[in-house]
A and B are shown apart, each in its own frame.
Chain A
Amino acid sequence: MSEQEKNAPYLDKRSSRRTFIKNSGLTVGGVVLGGALGSLLSKDSTTQTHETGVHSTATAVNFNQALMYFDKTQFDTIEAAAEQIFPKTEVGPGAKELLVAFYIDHQLAGSWGLNSKEYMSGPFYPAEATSLFGHQTHLNRQQIFNLGIEALNSEAAKQYKAKFSEITAEEQVAILQAFEAGEVTLNGAVTSTYFFSLLKSATIEGAYADPLYGGNKDMAGWKMKNFPGHQMSYANIIEKDEFVKIEPTSLNSQHKH
């Protein structure tokens, strides 16, 4: 490696991506290394560290905000439950504002809801499955959510004579705690604890996954957590002692050269 390459400055926020690639030593002996990089180079673009126009304004339409799997009651139930798991606080928005229930709906409609990349052949021995051995039921996630949502509503009806989405936050939390503890019986093929753990992890995913999946609206989940999302390089930051706050960028920017 030449001395010049060694001393190359790292990514300057205002420099173009082309300059960045040149400066960060991504060329070897003058030849740009191929692959993903090659296709980046063919498009002249401004750096990824500025904010791209992916966020909606109050009036902009989000065509993603529509249901692929849930019916209205199911959606309302999950929206309410997710909000208790990841509520709006002084720190920032909660599941509802982040559109987590839409995220969960969209995920359930696809391969995750159908467990399509998982081993689903029998025989099943749910009774022998301790938590250390994970999912051991013939039910896929769509079916588990259906059962879980029904049970959330029947618990709410039994205890408070209302739908889950209509009871108070404290009442919702109490029911969710009972689910987590496995105190509610679903149908024997799956426990309420397992349903709750699915709901909990899906809620966290919906808050923090790239907005391309329908949640993490306007990257507000990332902003709360000071996570910059998709960036090309941190070579200029990695050794820094102070915290470097960067406006997040989503994968959408990769498509908008």
Chain B
Amino acid sequence: MAKKLPKTDIVLAGVGWTGGIIAAELTKKGYKVVGLERGKERKTEDYLMVHDELRYQQRNEMMQDLSKETLTLRHDRSKRALPYRQHGSFLIGDGVGGSGEHWNGLTYRFFPYDFEIYTKTVERYGKDKIPADMPLQDWGITYNDLVPYFEKFEAMAGISGETNPHPEVPEVKYPTVPLKETPSMKMFKEASKNLGYHPYIAPAATLSESYTNPDGISRAACQYCGFCERFGCEYGAKASPVVTVLPVAKETGNFEVRAHCVVRKVLHTNGKATGVLYVDTRTGEEYIQEADVVVVSAYALNNIRILLNSQLGRPYNPESGTGVIGKNYAYQMTSSGSTGFFKEKEFNLYAGTGALAGVLDDFNGDNFDHTDLNFIHGGNIALGHYGKRPISNNSVPKGTPTWGKEFKDESIYWANRSLSVGSQGSVMPNKENYIDLDPTYKDQFGDPLLRMTFNYKDNERNQQKYIRDITTKILEEMGADMITTPGDQGDWDTTKYQTTHNTGGVIMGADPKTSALNNYLQMWDCENVFVPGASAFPHNSGMNPTGTVGALAYRAAEGIEKYLKTGGSLV
């Protein structure tokens, strides 16, 4: 029998970026928040030995223990899904701070186009531009509605950046100056300008200068230490929940974090949640935490799983296209990147920070004319200077063997002489890309694992071909002696890291029939459950999601307060 605990105002399932933001905002207003986090507590001191590529990058020290819980994957409905037995394509965070502890910190705003993608596509190209199997949807909120929330997130994190010079992209003023520019970024910017594009320095959550945010939190400037993505920051220079929002929540005295506590289910009766059922993995005991509001803030994928295992909301059915939980799962594509080899020049590639990049949006969103193209949307194009580490950095020109004498000598020769121009390609929703529960495989508690059915469709494959020609052209203009260009986008490879930008599954919208959440991220079917995270995205854009995730979390926090005051559906 699960032990019942005294009721609180708000309970969080997961304490990462979204949980942290909601905790800070509502505890400041005087509400009591309990944060349940399946992983361990974290503090900056933990990162004293963090410059360890093997432990953090190869062995994924900060990621979820897949022996306890994972998901199963397949390319299409006709196949059996096989377990994701070890980390590959994406990395699921774990522990207080969530993926917000070991992210890169590239912090963009999605475009005005993204939020009204259906309407704008039809307006510009007509209905026929949208394939029958692409459930493209507006988000039920506009960019302009979201601007104040973007600003809040950017001010909290201290985003360093430069205004995007593209004429189609709204101007943004960032709280701190841009990061330092490396010689390779300069080359990228110059070459792109020569080609008529609009490069700029990417907005970054790794601070360019010391900064005090509106909550009074002071943080130091980034040291470009080169161990950033997948690593924690030993300086607190990278914005993370542990150095920004969580201390603010704790300071109020209204916040309690319980680490090592796995939420199994949201409990509900008559369309109203009463609390959550969780297990303290240290004692093995089960508890019920009752609350007026339940926030499912466990990262996009886990959000879907908690709802499905709780039988909350209507599961998506790919046969009929009805139902909403698990619908419009989307991802990203990184296979349009080309690598250039420069004989004459050695770059200091060991240095860098997770969010140091020259980037352009000329082929992203609807910033270019798609009339004669066989796809919609696109991706940003960037030259990143993230810090290259020796186990994972072994770039060699095409045709070089993958082991033996020649491989060794070439991989060492080019280690500091090769630059990649990459792209984050958007993925549009498809009727056949979705998430449900696996019929066979179970987690440590015997609950069904999530089953992901996903593959790249024509829209993505066509986009990839188009963009890789541009990344190649930029490297040519940069003067590369040799360029390795990618082939066509194959089937989704679950073993190679692409991005941890999984989106959809609990999407927002204006219509309860086709979406799970309203624009406060409040569930249509259960008014006291809020589900922040990229699971709310009806499609995925061509850039990193957390700027938009953060803005929506601030909006959700406002919604929760409204709900606690007035009750009922907020929209």
Interface residues, chain A, with chain B CB atoms under 8 Å away: 1, 5-6, 24-29, 31, 33-40, 84-87, 89-92, 94, 112, 115-121, 123, 125, 128-129, 131-136, 173, 176, 200, 203-205, 208-210, 212-213, 221-222, 224-235, 237-241, 243-244, 251, 254
Contacts and interface: CB of A to CB of B under 8 A. Distances in A.
Contacts of A240: 183, 348
A214 to B, nearest CB: 11
9 contacts: A33-B218, A84-B403, A115-B86, A117-B66, A120-B85, A204-B391, A228-B350, A231-B226, A235-B224
Contacts of A33: 218-220, 235-236
A26 B47 contact: no
Contacts of A228: 350
Given A86-B403, A123-B440, A208 B53 contact: yes
Interface in B451-484: none
Given A1-B209, A91-B412, A133-B82, A233 B225 contact: yes
A87 B405 CA distance: 6
B402 interface: yes
B140 interface: no
B390 A225 contact: yes
A36 B218 contact: no
A239 to B, nearest CB: 5
B118 interface: no
B189 to A, nearest CB: 14
A238 B495 contact: no
B18 interface: no
A80 to B, nearest CB: 14
Nearest to B221: A25
B98 interface: no
A205 B493 CA distance: 22
Contacts of A115: 67, 85-86
Contacts of B390: 208, 221-222, 225, 227
B28 interface: no
Task: Identify the 6 closest CB pairs spanning chains A and B, nearest first.
Answer: A35-B44, A234-B351, A28-B218, A243-B346, A233-B223, A208-B390
B80 A128 contact: yes
B138 to A, nearest CB: 34
A243 B58 CA distance: 27
Nearest to B416: A226
A38 B218 contact: no
Contact of B66 (A29, A36, A94, A119): A119
Nearest to B60: A117
B519 interface: no
B408 interface: yes
B412 A224 contact: yes
Nearest to A38: B45
Contact of A128 (B82, B182, B224, B493): B82
A109 B86 CA distance: 18
B181 A239 contact: yes
A241 B440 CA distance: 56
B495 A133 contact: yes
A253 to B, nearest CB: 10
Contacts of A26: 210, 220-221, 235
A133 B389 CA distance: 26
B2 interface: no
Interface in B85-144: 85-86, 88
B86 A118 contact: yes
Given A136-B83, A234-B226, 6 more contacts: A36-B50, A208-B389, A224-B412, A233-B225, A239-B181, A243-B416
Contact of B219 (A28, A134, A200): A28
A230 B45 contact: no
B415 A227 contact: yes
Contacts of B88: 134
B405 A89 contact: yes
Given A118-B66, A129-B82, A136-B85, A230 B51 contact: yes
Contacts of B66: 117-119
Interface string B43-84: 111111111111000111000011100100101000110111
B219 A120 contact: no
A225 B418 CA distance: 13
Contacts of A208: 53, 389-391
A84 B52 CA distance: 26
B53 to A, nearest CB: 7
Contacts of B385: 238
Given A6-B209, A28-B218, A210-B52, A227 B350 contact: yes
A119 B222 CA distance: 36
A190 to B, nearest CB: 13
Contacts of B59: 112, 117
Contacts of A118: 66-67, 85-86
Contact of B212 (A28, A89, A121, A244): A28
A221 B53 CA distance: 14
Question: Which of B180, B181, B221, B491 neighbours the largest number of chain A CB atoms within 10 Å of its CB?
Answer: B221
A257 to B, nearest CB: 11
B17 to A, nearest CB: 19
Contacts of B346: 226, 243
Given A118-B66, A227-B415, A34 B44 contact: yes
B154 interface: no
A254 B54 contact: no
Contacts of B527: none
B67 A209 contact: no
Contacts of B492: 132
B347 interface: yes
Contacts of A237: 224, 348, 351
B441 interface: yes
Contacts of A24: 220-221, 223
A84 B181 CA distance: 40
A247 to B, nearest CB: 13
B309 interface: no
A133 B49 contact: no
B254 interface: no
B166 interface: no
Interface in B197-238: 209-212, 218-226, 234-236
Nearest to A135: B85
Contacts of B494: 132-134
B65 A117 contact: yes
A242 B517 CA distance: 53
B442 interface: yes
Nearest to B217: A28
B409 A89 contact: yes
Contacts of B352: 234, 238
B394 interface: yes
B404 interface: yes
A254 B225 CA distance: 15
A36 B351 contact: no
Contacts of B83: 119, 121, 136
Nearest to B403: A85
A143 B66 CA distance: 20
Contact of B82 (A136, A203, A212, A251): A136
A210 B53 contact: yes
Nearest to A111: B59
Contact of A243 (B49, B85, B348): B348
A121 B223 CA distance: 43
B442 A121 contact: yes
